[in-house]
């Protein structure tokens, strides 16, 4: 079966707080909010093509993991390591990649991977 995953979503407790964290800490840019008059959903798109959404929903935590593939994971690591909660410091994996994992404000795991 051939598949293609193009979009994922995580639930957050406070959408405005989450937006600010994703923009200020990781450099993601909001592409879309919904509904326009009183948004509870936001869609991000990063210049390298990662697309994902956040939905404000206090009753349903998601605790997901996103793997963002980047050209230079060491540059990303250096820029965020002192601003975030690190759950897995940068390291070389057995299978030829280099990565680290952090938590967002709602406990979702965000891995940044090179290779």
In the prediction, which pLDDT does 49 show? 67
| Contact assessment for residue 44 and residue 28, using Cβ atoms and an 8 Å cutoff | yes
Domain residues of the chain, as ranges?
A: 8-114
Q: What is the pLDDT of residues 38-97, one digit of tens each?
A: 999 999 876 656 678 999 987 776 788 888 888 899 999 999 999 999 999 999 999 999
In the prediction, which pLDDT does 7 show? 75
Which CATH superfamily, name and number, covers 8-114?
2,3-Dihydroxybiphenyl 1,2-Dioxygenase, domain 1 (3.10.180.10)
Q: Report yes or no on whether pTM surpasses 0.75.
A: yes
Strand partners, 34: 41
In the prediction, which pLDDT does 22 show? 95
């Amino acid at each position: 079966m051939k598949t293609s995953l193009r979009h994922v979503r995580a639930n957050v407790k406070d959408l405005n707080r989450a937006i600010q964290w994703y923009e200020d800490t990781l450099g993601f840019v909001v592409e879309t909010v919904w509904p326009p008059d009183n948004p509870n959903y936001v869609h991000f798109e990063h210049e390298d093509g990662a697309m994902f959404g956040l939905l404000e929903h206090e009753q349903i935590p998601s605790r997901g993991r996103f793997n963002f593939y980047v050209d230079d994971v060491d540059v990303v690591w250096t820029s965020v390591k002192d601003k975030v909660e690190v759950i897995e410091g940068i390291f070389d994996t057995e299978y030829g990649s280099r990565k680290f994992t952090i938590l967002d404000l709602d406990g979702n795991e965000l891995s940044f991977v090179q290779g």
